Amino acid sequence: MEALTPNTIPRSGQDTAKAPKRKRKGGFWSTVLQQKYLYLMSLPFVIWVFVFSYLPLWGWTMAFQNYKPARSFSEQKWVGFKYFHELFQDDRFYLVLRNTLAMSFMGLILGFVVPIFFAILLNELRGMFFKRFVQTVSYLPHFVSWVVVAGIITKMLSIDGGAVNQILMALHLTDEPIQFMAKGNWFWYIVTGSDVWKETGWNTIIYLAAITGIDPELYEASRVDGASRWRQMWHITLPGIRSTISVLLIMSIGHLISIGFEKQFLLGNNLVTDYSEVLDLYALNYGLNMGRFSYGTAIGIFNSVVSIILLFTANGIFKKVTKESIM
Amino acid sequence: MPKKAFKVTAISLIIASMLAVAGCGGGKEDTAAKDTGDTTSPITFSFFGADASPNWNKMQDEVGKEITAKTGVTINAEYAVSGGGQDKISLMAASGDYPDLIFAKGDVNKLVDAGAMLDLTDLIDKYAPNLKKVYGDYMDRLKYSNDDQAIYVLPTNAAVNQQYFDAGGGFEIQNAVLKELGYPEVKTVKDFENVLKAYKEKHPTIDGQPTIPLTLDADDWRIMITVTNPAFLATGAPDDGEYFINPQTYEAQLHYKRPEEKEYFRWLNHMYNEGLLDKETFVQKSDQYKSKISSGRVLGLIDQEWGYSDAENALKSAGKDERTYAHLPVTLSEEYKDHSFQDTGFTSGWGIGITNNCKDPVRAIKFMDWLASDEGQVLINWGIEGKHYNVEDGKRVIPQEIQDKKINDASNFTKTSGIGLYTIFSAHYGDGVKDPSGNYYTTNFPDQIVASYTPAEKETLKAYGATTWKDLFPSEKDFPVKPWGAAYNISVEEGSDYTVTYQKTQDIIRKRIPEAILTTPDKFDAVYDNMIKELNAAGAEKMEQQYTELVKDRVELWGGTTEAK
């Protein structure tokens, strides 16, 4: 863009003296004319975003109506904030909110620390073949569906010949096999643990890519100055991928509340519902499945508002602390 | 980008997209019923079924091809993968994107509320003599409700005038266990417990793996079938879903509130603390449950045959015939009678309907009518003459090799023959009804049922002096007919307070019942009483009152036909 603007100066230069305001307007249109191909090329994407991300917001009106399907907009009955009232008065809502936030915070912390750590360790490996091999093996679980992963986890933790219990028994750490899946307060850890197992390798890729972008001269210089491997990691590698880390962190904070429900749905059972039910599952059970579309929409709006607040807060804090921002 | 320019772009975009949206919303199809007189030209109907149908073969099976040849109709079907298709149907109701025909089970009210279902009353009257004949006196039971007396679905989940010749429920014990213990009398839960205990002590492992005396399947809705429903069946009450309905006053209450059921759950608690109930009962998923059964080391079950038949088939194919299960009418104590067979009359309820997206409702109803004809019913139940059955001296007989395939290779047989896949598409008579030629409409009649038992089953039955499992159960003649049919298929208005309270009580029950069973015996009372308190706090009492009204309404709606049988 910058490169193109100088061309527009001579043309608009004529009426500079008369009307500075008009000059700007004319400047814009001539810019458009100059860059018409760029504008044309971006237009489909603008439309796409508008149609798929902004137009559906119209559906938010449902939350304020007693919505019945197959009736026109004017036939719906308006009820104001009734469904939000109902939502904030339901004890279960606070319970599922707690579960959602607890599991996503745990997931966020481990989901960041472990892949970064892993990426740095991989980067320090000398043998190219071994490095590639480890990397491939570690990201393969990403492609396994949660249904299968849940099956593997339940089987591993089963008391009926599950590998984990057999190891614990063989080491004499316990006498009785432990029912991992029946303990509510362990559920969060099981979910977080399986998430780390499944996604670590995949999340590592982006950090590895960022590390390759670091200038090798920096390492050489530090070696000349006598820096150890640990010093190099701490003073060169980590600062080198700092901006990648902060961008990804801010974006994940925005998604904190919408963690989906597959893991919890597939790993949970009746004994642990107090710990396993998350917001999305609650919206499905008490909203869509009962045909209460308005209530479901109210939950959706709450979700989006919280996400936006989280995103802006996180971005604001980062801006202050690190002078970096994604917006 | 300067502000004004942005505005202009935005406005033009809005206009553009509004035009696009308006374009999409254009004219609705005119679905007014017109009889084109055409009955066999090829036509395809899309269909959604809320029950999984894993053997569906896109009508490329033998019966399916025959149906297409006779009626010109091809069904383009999609079935719910699991869980009753609730989400899918909700989405259909919200989006207006329905198939031509739909089997929506209990969720049909969502579609009716959305105005998606066609009223079939006139169509049946004009074009469907066979449907009228099959439903006969029960036509009143097809009506939707007192306020809306339209017919939206043809009840096809239930068969008309069904007589039960076989029992698939009760409590189950492996035939091998009964044989080894010399076929003891098993009438009460105590007897049941003693049998499992005695065998487990003799054989702590089976095929090298630890013996499991009793396991249940509490995965999602299956908890109702194997954990909570047996509580009323073992204490002399019939199946009315989550309620017990007082036969005199029609008052409904959550069946958990009956004191005798508390004693049933106390027994389960005792079983757990004795180590007889599988510790993984409330953690395992249905597939784990079935894989345990198919390993042959689960001695006893409390389930319905359809819940574990996959596993039982696996046992048969593996040659472990003796590890299949006997059905016994076990009750809490001698004073109760198992009400499994209490007659509901024709239960009506769930079935197939035509949506207003259907282009040719007349062809659709004619298709269903043909399936309900004598010719159609024989085809969907028996298959093709000369291929799946022969007529000898005026009697339909299934050749031995076909019968063997049916028993031992059931799913493949269904896939290639298509027998049993088409009953949900139209009205059909139940077992025990004879057609004009003097043969039964279905292949389930006493001789055929006995023929389908495995040798181990026959041996057990002989030892107890019975020919079918049903002989062991109290007969329907011992009980009066229920005037409200089966309460579990009464539809309720969507999104009302009732549905919210119901969901809340379900959440409490599914959490607290396992807790009560898994606690120590001294704490059982506290946990159970607390559950009842929680239920009332969630609004159960008001919900019961509402349900009482619904039951009374139904008795009134069906009034004309309740005396028919």
- Collect all residues of chain B within an 8 Å Cβ-Cβ radius of residue A181: 283
Buried b / exposed e over A198-215, threshold 16 CB at 10 Å, is bbbbebbebbbebbeeee
Q: How confident is the model at residue B347 (pLDDT cuts 50, 70, 90)?
A: confident
**Taking Cα atoms as reference points, which of A261, A256, A249, A260 lies closest to residue A307?**
A256
- Partner-chain residue, chosen from A68, A159, A295, that has the shortest CB–CB distance to B113: A68
Which residues contact residue B93 at a Cβ distance below 8 angstroms, ignoring those fewer than 6 apart?
A: A69, A70, A291, B110, B111, B113, B114, B116
A-chain residue closest to B515, CA distance? A271
Q: How large is the greatest C-alpha to C-alpha distance in chain A, in angstroms?
A: 92
Checking if the pLDDT of A29 tops 90, the result is: no
Instruction: Please check whether residue B282 touches A, CB under 8 A.
Output: yes
Asked if A264 contacts A278 with a C-beta cutoff of 8 angstroms, the reply is yes
Q: Class of B43-161+346-441 per CATH?
A: alpha beta
Q: How confident is the model at residue A12 (pLDDT cuts 50, 70, 90)?
A: very low
pLDDT of res. B495? 67
Asked if A187 contacts A267 with a C-beta cutoff of 8 angstroms, the reply is yes
- Between CA B280 and CA B282 the distance in angstroms is 6
For residue A223 the two structure tokens come to: 């070696």
Q: What is the mean pLDDT of residues B508-523?
A: 94
Instruction: Please check whether residue B337 touches A, CB under 8 A.
Output: no
B-chain residue closest to A269, CA distance? B283
Rounded to 5 degrees, what angle do the CA atoms B44, B47, B69 make?
A: 40
- Between CA B349 and CA B157 the distance in angstroms is 8
Asked if A290 lies within 8 A of B21 by C-beta distance, the reply is no
Give the number of beta-carbon pairs within 8 Å between A and B. 106
Pick the CATH number of B171-340+453-557 from 2.60.120.460, 1.10.645.10, 3.50.50.60, 3.40.190.10: 3.40.190.10
- Between CA B60 and CA B62 the distance in angstroms is 7
- Between CA B26 and CA B20 the distance in angstroms is 11
Checking if the pLDDT of B408 tops 80, the result is: no
pLDDT (tens digit per residue) in B234-293: 999 988 889 999 988 889 999 999 999 999 999 999 999 999 999 989 988 888 899 999
Checking if the pLDDT of A11 tops 80, the result is: no
* B interface test, pick of A36, A271, A275 with most B CB neighbours within 10 Å: A271
- Taking the domains of chain A in order of start, what are their residue ranges? 5-78, 83-322
Same fold, B43-161+346-441 and B171-340+453-557: yes
DSSP-assigned letters across all residues of B356-391: TT-S-HHHHHHHHHHHHSHHHHHHHHH--BTTTBEE
Q: What is the mean pLDDT of residues A90-100?
A: 92
pLDDT of res. B220? 84
Q: What is the mean pLDDT of residues B150-154?
A: 91
pLDDT (tens digit per residue) in A122-161: 988 888 899 899 999 999 999 999 999 998 998 899 888 7
Which residues contact residue B109 at a Cβ distance below 8 angstroms, ignoring those fewer than 6 apart?
A: B491, B492, B493, B494
- Collect all residues of chain B within an 8 Å Cβ-Cβ radius of residue A92: 504, 507
Checking if the pLDDT of A22 tops 90, the result is: no
Neighbours of B312 (CB within 10 A): 21
How many CA atoms, within 13 angstroms, populate the side-chain half-sphere of residue A254? 13
Q: How confident is the model at residue B19 (pLDDT cuts 50, 70, 90)?
A: very low
Asked if A47 lies within 8 A of B94 by C-beta distance, the reply is no
DSSP lists the bridge partners of residue B78 as B48
- Taking the domains of chain B in order of start, what are their residue ranges? 43-161+346-441, 171-340+453-557
- Between CA B358 and CA B360 the distance in angstroms is 6
pLDDT of res. B75? 93
Buried b / exposed e over A246-267, threshold 16 CB at 10 Å, is bebebebbbebbbbebebbbbb
- Between CA B103 and CA A288 the distance in angstroms is 19
pLDDT of res. B437? 87
pLDDT of res. B11? 52
- Partner-chain residue, chosen from A50, A69, A92, that has the shortest CB–CB distance to B94: A69
- How far is B260 from chain A, CA to nearest CA, in Å? 24
pLDDT of res. B565? 32
Asked if A69 lies within 8 A of B114 by C-beta distance, the reply is yes
Which residues contact residue B262 at a Cβ distance below 8 angstroms, ignoring those fewer than 6 apart?
A: B256, B528
Q: How confident is the model at residue B55 (pLDDT cuts 50, 70, 90)?
A: confident
- How far is A181 from chain B, CA to nearest CA, in Å? 6
DSSP lists the bridge partners of residue A144 as none
Asked if B500 lies within 8 A of A290 by C-beta distance, the reply is yes
Neighbours of A69 (CB within 10 A): 19
- Partner-chain residue, chosen from B16, B114, B514, that has the shortest CB–CB distance to A271: B514
pLDDT of res. A143? 94
Exposed/middle/buried for residue B422 (C-beta within 10 Å: 0-12, 13-18, 19+) = buried
Asked if B87 lies within 8 A of A292 by C-beta distance, the reply is no
Q: How large is the greatest C-alpha to C-alpha distance in chain B, in angstroms?
A: 93
- How far is B125 from chain A, CA to nearest CA, in Å? 28
State chain B's mean pLDDT as an integer: 86
pLDDT (tens digit per residue) in B476-509: 888 888 888 777 777 777 667 888 899 899 999 9
What part of B 498-527 touches A (C-beta under 8 Å)? Answer: 499-500, 503-504, 507, 510-511, 514-515, 518
First to last CA, chain B: 80
pLDDT of res. A229? 87
- Collect all residues of chain A within an 8 Å Cβ-Cβ radius of residue B210: 160
Q: What is the mean pLDDT of residues B110-123?
A: 89
Asked if A154 lies within 8 A of B288 by C-beta distance, the reply is yes
SS3 A301: helix
**Taking Cα atoms as reference points, which of B512, B540, B544, B547 lies closest to residue B262?**
B512
For residue A47 the two structure tokens come to: 């439309």
Asked if B94 lies within 8 A of A92 by C-beta distance, the reply is no
Instruction: Please check whether residue B24 touches A, CB under 8 A.
Output: no
- Collect all residues of chain A within an 8 Å Cβ-Cβ radius of residue B218: 269-270
- Between CA B466 and CA B240 the distance in angstroms is 29
Q: Poorest-confidence range of A231-245, A253-267, B16-30?
A: B16-30
Checking if the pLDDT of B216 tops 60, the result is: yes
Q: How confident is the model at residue B36 (pLDDT cuts 50, 70, 90)?
A: low
pLDDT of res. A289? 80
A-chain residue closest to B500, CA distance? A286
pLDDT of res. B397? 87
Architecture of the domain defined by A83-322: Orthogonal Bundle (1.10)
- Partner-chain residue, chosen from B86, B115, B282, that has the shortest CB–CB distance to A271: B282
pLDDT (tens digit per residue) in A76-89: 889 989 999 999 99
Asked if B495 lies within 8 A of A55 by C-beta distance, the reply is no
Checking if the pLDDT of B563 tops 80, the result is: no
The fraction of chain B above a pLDDT of 70, given in percent, is 91
pLDDT of res. B230? 95
- Partner-chain residue, chosen from B16, B21, B494, that has the shortest CB–CB distance to A291: B494
pLDDT of res. B26? 37
pLDDT (tens digit per residue) in B521-530: 999 999 999 9
Checking if the pLDDT of B100 tops 50, the result is: yes
Asked if A70 lies within 8 A of B90 by C-beta distance, the reply is no
- Between CA A152 and CA B336 the distance in angstroms is 44
- Collect all residues of chain A within an 8 Å Cβ-Cβ radius of residue B115: 70-71
- Between CA B59 and CA B77 the distance in angstroms is 9
- Collect all residues of chain B within an 8 Å Cβ-Cβ radius of residue A72: none
- Between CA A187 and CA A278 the distance in angstroms is 12
Q: What is the mean pLDDT of residues B358-386?
A: 92
Checking if the pLDDT of B22 tops 70, the result is: no
Instruction: Please check whether residue B93 touches A, CB under 8 A.
Output: yes
- How far lies B44's CA from each of A292, B40, B41, B52, B201, in Å? 33, 12, 10, 21, 60
B-chain residue closest to A159, CA distance? B280
- Between CA A286 and CA A196 the distance in angstroms is 30
Checking if the pLDDT of B187 tops 80, the result is: yes
- Between CA B399 and CA A285 the distance in angstroms is 49
pLDDT of res. A176? 85
Q: What is the mean pLDDT of residues B365-381?
A: 93
- Collect all residues of chain A within an 8 Å Cβ-Cβ radius of residue B219: 269
Asked if B237 contacts B255 with a C-beta cutoff of 8 angstroms, the reply is yes
Checking if the pLDDT of A63 tops 80, the result is: yes
- Partner-chain residue, chosen from A50, A68, A289, that has the shortest CB–CB distance to B90: A289
pLDDT of res. A103? 93
- Collect all residues of chain A within an 8 Å Cβ-Cβ radius of residue B116: 70
- Between CA A235 and CA A228 the distance in angstroms is 10
Q: Which residue is listed with tokens 């409330």?
A: B282
B-chain residue closest to A52, CA distance? B17
Asked if A47 lies within 8 A of B13 by C-beta distance, the reply is yes
Q: What is the mean pLDDT of residues B306-313?
A: 90
